[in-house]
Amino acid sequence: MEKENAIQKKVIFSGIQPSGQLTIGNYLGALKNWVKLQDEYECFYCIVDMHAITVKQEPKELRQRTLEVLAIYIAAGIDPEKNTLFIQSHVPQHAEGAWLLNCNTYMGELSRMTQFKDKSQRYGQNINVGLFDYPVLMASDILIYQADLVPVGHDQKQHLELTRDIAERFNSAYSPTFKVPDPYIAKVGAKIMDLQEPTKKMSKSSDNPNSYILMMDPPEVIRKKISRAVTDSIGVVNYTDDQPGIKNLIDILSTIKGTTSEEVVKTYEGIGYAQFKKDVGEAIVEELAPVQDKVKELVADKKYLESVYKAGAEKASYIANKTVRKMKKKIGFIQQ
Ligand code: TRP
């Protein structure tokens, strides 16, 4: 047993909500990094549909988007044979674990979550209990797989901190049950910003479509959105916080090309924004074209997608069940 543990890979868990179409922010900031982790780690990549319904979703669209996100995972290079790809609602232990963790989480902690505060302003008509409880479901996602590492963006750090607090609290109230997960900070991979307000993170939930580029945007739309991206009047391609729009475009280009920001700056010495933007647009079009083709192909093959998410759920629930059984036993529930 000990020997087995010694050679076991570290576990990674991450997820994306199927609550809107994915952007190049998801792709360049998350998915491309996930691909790099698949050989070194045991990865669980989930489509968190139960998180998505904390905000109103049209059932037909939710169904379509869930499959599309799965197709995008695969098209981006996440190999279903090497990783566990699955849909959150197919593994009921997520909800079960969340309930058990709920009883070990305080109202005060959840009230302090900035995402909850932001979303309750945004969705004032629908501040449902799920929206409040969102971080506990996320903690359950992570803890039931005994994840070592969680790749998340800056906006999810607070949720991960809370996950660690809940895990430590449970471990000391009962006995060691959970691994206390660490955030995984990617060495490369940029945080892609909003094209219209480049000091904000690019988000699929923005009201202005010009502020993001969707994974499935056609080439002419991509070119147009990049040409309209907000820049500045300085006129020099420089990598500085004083030029957040240009900085963001440099990040996009260097992430796609696998180069450094300095190299991009050098390449564009003495060259104007128009040409620079044109090149950025072209680079995105070229990068996305094969992925888009693959997504279309996969979405048309429902049988294949079904085989992937079914096998994924089976593998995931086997692992998740072990932890949830442990939790129940420690809490004092009678074992079945
Ligand atoms: N809350 C995350 C986001 O919006 C999505 C998510 C749900 C997640 N459960 C997770 C991310 C577990 C990492 C681990 O980005």
Specify the ligand 1 atom closest to the Cα of 13.
14
- Closest Cα partner for 214 from 24, 70, 50, 19? 24
Confidence bin at 240 (pLDDT 50/70/90): very high
Nearest to 26 by CA among 227, 295, 220, 326: 295
CA-based radius of gyration for the chain: 21
What is the pTM (predicted TM-score) of this model? Answer: 0.93
Percent of the chain topping pLDDT 90: 90
The pLDDT score that the predictor gives to residue 67 is 98
In tens, the pLDDT along 7-22 reads 789 999 999 999 988 9
Question: Per residue in 148-163, pLDDT tens?
Answer: 999 988 889 999 999 9
Residue nearest to atom 3 of ligand 1 (CA): 16
For position 6, what pLDDT does the model report?
A: 55
The CA 210 to ligand 1 mean position distance, Å, reads: 25
Distance 240 CA to ligand 1 centre (A): 30
The pLDDT of residue 319: 98
| Domains of the chain, CATH where assigned | 2-184+301-331 (3.40.50.620), 209-296 (1.10.240.10)
Give mean pLDDT, residues 23-27: 95
Share of the chain above pLDDT 70, in %: 97
3-state secondary structure the chain: CHHHHHHCCCEEEEEECCCCCCEHHHHHHHHHHHHHHCCCCEEEEEECHHHHCCCCCCHHHHHHHHHHHHHHHHHCCCCCCCCEEEEHHHCCHHHHHHHHHHCCCCHHHHHCCHHHHHHHHHCHHHCCHHHHHHHHHHHHHHHCCCCCEEECCHHHHHHHHHHHHHHHHHHHHCCCCCCCCEEECCCCCCCCECCCCCCCECCCCCCCHHHCCECCCCHHHHHHHHHCCCCCCCCCCCCCCCCHHHHHHHHHHHHHHCCCHHHHHHHCCCCCHHHHHHHHHHHHHHHHHHHHHHHHHHHHCHHHHHHHHHHHHHHHHHHHHHHHHHHHHHHCCCCC
Q: What's the rounded mean pLDDT across residues 87-102?
A: 98
pLDDT, residue 123, reads 86
- Give the tens place of pLDDT for each residue, 178-234: 999 999 987 656 689 999 999 999 988 788 999 999 999 999 999 999 999 999 999
Active site residues: 119, 201, 204
pLDDT digits (tens, 9 = 90+) for 34-83: 999 999 999 999 999 999 999 999 999 999 999 999 999 999 999 999 99
pLDDT value, residue 122: 87
Indicate whether residue 52 lines ligand 1 (CB < 6 A): no
- Ligand 1: centre distance to CA 55 (Å): 14
- Return the pLDDT at 1: 45
User: How confident is the model over 246-293, as pLDDT tens digits?
Assistant: 999 999 999 999 999 999 999 999 999 999 999 999 999 999 999 999
Q: pLDDT tens, 108-145?
A: 999 999 999 999 998 888 899 999 999 999 999 999 99
